[in-house]
Structure 1
Amino acid sequence: MAITLGSLFDGIGVFPLAASNYGIVPLWASEIEKVPISITKKHFTQMQHLGDITKLDGAKIPPVHIITFGSPCQNLSTIGAREGLTGAKSGLFHHAIRIIQEMRCATDGKYPVIAVWENVRGAFSSNNRLDFRAVLESFADTEIPMPASGRWANAGMVRGGKVDVCWRLLDAQYWGEPTLSQRRKRIFVVADFRGQRAAEILFKPHELHAPTNSSRKSWLSSGERNRISVNQARGKIPVLCPFEERRTRGSAKYQDTQGFVRNFGRSNDPFPTLLAGGPGVFSFWYEGEEKEGFIRYLTPIESERLMGLPDDWTKYGNTGIINSDYARWRALGNAIAVPCAEHIMAGIAEVLKENED
């Protein structure tokens, strides 16, 4: 019997992609953004699209073993207004929990077996750190005390009744083989409704799926991934470094010379996190000619590689129309890093294939 997956707040289909790499079948997705829907329809032609999550009834949609969701982070992020789970967008988290509960009631507790939630690191601290407790309590269906330290650790676990819940902060720059080259810290929560396997899924090392894109060979080491070939550079080796655009503006405003220079990074630094609001920027120069360097945006393909996606994953929709660069950057800025999702899917596939029908 095939292990199946449903993806809420699907975006560009990263969870379905990671799941497919481990023999898990994506059955359906819920998304409302036009471009991401067209991208996932192109790559997953058999996956059903259910539309707006607020209009779904978990008892009436096809039951699945796994439900994944990266609910909107705008009200949780440290660069937002931080309304928390009461915010209009991040509050959609509760609809995902409702759908899970409705499905479990309709199937006498059989489905889903596993739920996975992903969000920004700011969820640890929003609403005076009460939001993350609410997240854990929603999964565990029991009251959970605040940590004695007053702060949530980067990894932990709780058990409530029959539900096993673990969380872990994963940074994309340390995952995959070869590893990615951007800082992208995200919280992943795994809830096991039928056992005590969440820790095995989230904390146990798993062999990740081999890269399918030959272009990813260019990411071999921190030094190599910050350079291009001699031929491309016409005999010179350019150096690419992260450029912290917002911090640079602040340093310039307050005439902080040292801070301004630091924002250009070092040759072995990872690239900063991709943002949904626009493309990433990096500084570029030739060795020994730093004063003649310049700054440019990342291309959509470079952004895809930073996320661990195959080249041109976001280029076309299901109708064959080419998506604009801005639409691709926006979709990628909202996406999940593939190796982090693959780590979790590898663990889920391992434990469910051993224990499920």
Structure 2
Amino acid sequence: MLKLGSLFDGIGVFPLAAAKHGIRPLWASEIEKAPISITKRHFPYMEHVGDVTQLHGGRLPPVDILTFGSPCQNLSQIGNRDGLAGEQSGLFYEAIRIINEMRCATDGQYPQLAIWENVAGAFSSAMGADFRTVLEAFADSEIPMPDNGKWAPAGLVPDGCPEIAWRLLDSQHFQSAQSRERVFVVADYRGQRASEILFNPLPLHKILGDGEESGLPFPGDRGGGSSEAGRHHAEVRCFHTRKMRGAVQYHDPKMFLSAIGKPGAPCPTLLTGDYQVIAVHFPDAPEKDYIRKLTVTEFEMLMGLPVGWTKFGHEGQRISDSARFKALGNSIVLGCAEYIMAGAAVLLQQKEGLNGK
């Protein structure tokens, strides 16, 4: 069985995606108490190895796939933009160190794949130099900047070992009613499979769902953005709250109105607080209109997770809503992680002959 190690694990989305495709989550590194307790509940056999800064890759159990969504605070366009020089996002280098230590200790056998996830702001941080640093850290060689100074949303570093591919994925195209753009980098240390994993058409990687309806009063099925509330037809709109704040600051009514999402449009990127607001409008009964915040359960649904995934810790204790909102806002949409894990599982098993096909 293929094995996975997860750095900066959060609430175990990479392990969940891996387990759905026959990959065993072997160990995880996380320091936040609530996420650790949540993942211990769902993966009681997965070892928690502690703080990345205290780990040595050569002393960890070797894994075929190593995943890490290192902190995005300094790379994000809503952060301080200190980039990889920042205290949080600079932890990226710890993951690269751990990968190199594991490969040294296993004579270059493990990990076979390394997968990095982060915000789209990584492309533009330090005028593109930070993303170049990311690619060079995986390649252990110099990578030229694009001629126009801007990184494309998808690309490949060919003719090398590892083969490195990257792609910007938007969760609204991966079974989510949320628009959440994240860049994924895949480094294949044993072959030329990174591009196959990231660039194959979506239908080739079947995403396994729970078979449950989203239950949300907005367009999980992309079919018009309406739901029934009693006998009245309802239109649900998601507010772009950051855009609204800017419109108020600059006294721009036109911008404010544009920040009220259209019926059928996906929810904007969820952040770490409970301030995502939706408006429910009844065209034939406007007196019933109302505005409310999304619930923490709806956050779970928009992240593609089973309902209640973050509700309890490993000892059965309730996790506070504030801790759940924070963990979910920092997490990865399951559909995106599954798309990558599905391809990785198939290609690695074919390479190793593990499935006998």
| TM-score category, normalised to shorter length | over 0.9
In structure 2, distance between residues paired with 1:217 and 1:346: 26
In structure 2, distance between residues paired with 1:159 and 1:103: 23
Confirm or deny: 8 A CA contact 2:168 2:182 kept in the other structure: yes
Deviation at 1:255, TM superposition (A): 2.9
Partner SS, residue 59 of structure 1: helix
In structure 1, distance between residues paired with 2:215 and 2:322: 26
Confirm or deny: 8 A CA contact 1:213 1:310 kept in the other structure: no
In structure 2, the partner of 1:127 is 126
In structure 2, distance between residues paired with 1:172 and 1:234: 31
**Structure 2 spans left out of the alignment, 5+ residues:** none
In structure 1, distance between residues paired with 2:286 and 2:254: 16
Residue identity opposite 2:302 in structure 1: L
Deviation at 1:216, TM superposition (A): 3.2
Matches within 5 A, 1:1-80: 2-80=1-79
In structure 2, the partner of 1:117 is 116
Using the aligned pairs only, state the percent identity.
54
In structure 1, the partner of 2:150 is 151
Provide Cα deviations, 1:74-103, integer angstroms capped at 9, x if missing partner: 000000110000100000000000000000
Residue identity opposite 2:209 in structure 1: P
Deviation at 1:210, TM superposition (A): 2.6
In structure 1, the partner of 2:84 is 85
Confirm or deny: 8 A CA contact 2:274 2:294 kept in the other structure: no
In structure 2, the partner of 1:210 is 208
In structure 1, the partner of 2:318 is 322
The alignment yields a C-alpha RMSD, in angstroms, of 1.6
Partner SS, residue 214 of structure 1: coil
In structure 2, distance between residues paired with 1:261 and 1:289: 21
For this pair of structures, how many residues does the alignment match? 349
In structure 2, the partner of 1:271 is 267
In structure 1, distance between residues paired with 2:74 and 2:197: 28
Residue identity opposite 1:89 in structure 2: Q
Provide Cα deviations, 1:25-64, integer angstroms capped at 9, x if missing partner: 0000000000000110010010000010000000001000
Distance 1:266 1:37, change over 3 A: same
Equivalent residue for 2:238, pick from 231, 235, 242: 242
Q: Does 1:255 align with 2:251?
A: yes
In structure 2, distance between residues paired with 1:160 and 1:119: 25
In structure 2, distance between residues paired with 1:216 and 1:115: 31
Partner SS, residue 59 of structure 2: coil
Distance 1:72 1:312, change over 3 A: same
Single out whichever of 236-245 and 161-170 deviates more from structure 2: 236-245
In structure 2, distance between residues paired with 1:125 and 1:160: 25
Confirm or deny: 8 A CA contact 1:245 1:281 kept in the other structure: yes
In structure 2, the partner of 1:182 is 178
Deviation at 1:159, TM superposition (A): 3.3
Partner SS, residue 221 of structure 2: coil
Confirm or deny: 8 A CA contact 1:239 1:267 kept in the other structure: yes
Residue identity opposite 2:222 in structure 1: S
Q: Does 1:141 align with 2:140?
A: yes
Single out whichever of 276-285 and 184-193 deviates more from structure 2: 276-285
Single out whichever of 201-210 and 39-48 deviates more from structure 2: 201-210
Distance 1:259 1:143, change over 3 A: same
Confirm or deny: 8 A CA contact 2:274 2:293 kept in the other structure: no
Confirm or deny: 8 A CA contact 2:247 2:256 kept in the other structure: yes
TM-score by length of structure 2 reads 0.94
Partner SS, residue 214 of structure 2: helix
Residue identity opposite 1:268 in structure 2: G
In structure 1, distance between residues paired with 2:275 and 2:345: 34
In structure 1, distance between residues paired with 2:259 and 2:103: 49
Deviation at 1:141, TM superposition (A): 1.0
Deviation at 1:220, TM superposition (A): 5.0
Single out whichever of 32-41 and 291-300 deviates more from structure 2: 291-300
Confirm or deny: 8 A CA contact 1:279 1:329 kept in the other structure: no
Confirm or deny: 8 A CA contact 1:281 1:298 kept in the other structure: yes
In structure 1, the partner of 2:222 is 222
**Structure 1 spans left out of the alignment, 5+ residues:** none
Confirm or deny: 8 A CA contact 2:7 2:52 kept in the other structure: yes
In structure 1, the partner of 2:338 is 342
Confirm or deny: 8 A CA contact 1:223 1:267 kept in the other structure: no
TM-score by length of structure 1 reads 0.94
Distance 1:292 1:7, change over 3 A: same
Deviation at 1:217, TM superposition (A): 7.2
Residue identity opposite 1:295 in structure 2: I
